[in-house]
Amino acid sequence: MEKVSTPDICDDHESSLRVLDSIFNNYGGNKQFFGEVVTVKCHEDNSLVKEQANQPGEGKVLVVDGGGSLRRALLGDMIAEKAVANGWAGFVIFGCIRDCDEIAALKLGVKALNTIPLKTDKRGIGDLNVAVTFAGHTINPGDWIYCDNNGIVISETKLPE
């Protein structure tokens, strides 16, 4: 699947999808992206986000449940650049990012609630590959996520090309 169209995906697979509430903004250079889900649950500490961005992404999408906090950025340009270098397709962040202009220039999909210039503390606190719930739905590790300017949809399995 080269091009993602969430309206077309919904037309073809509506009964098997979860459509997240429309609360996210696009920040990455790739406005359309998809991949298998890896989850991180953290609050104002992006230690696990940074750790995962440094791992091989293999076209996956890191879904970060930051508790909806608008007080600290869970992604910045340096972590985003590492993610690109390591083959991640993108990020969906229930929280904020920073360095939005630099991130917009990267070949990476990034959806987040908003921006803020403050970085997080690094306390090493968070959970990897646990079910996360936000924007009206639960997202599980291994689900598939499809994102574009129209929204975000989740499938339990990879959709046909």
* Residue pLDDT, tens place only, 41-97: 999 999 999 999 999 999 999 999 999 999 999 999 999 999 999 999 999 999 999
Superfamily grouping for domain 6-155: Ribonuclease E inhibitor RraA/RraA-like (3.50.30.40)
Domain boundaries, the chain: 6-155
The predicted pLDDT at position 35 comes to: 98
DSSP 104: H
52/49 Cα distance (integer angstroms): 5
pLDDT tier at 1, thresholds 50, 70, 90: low
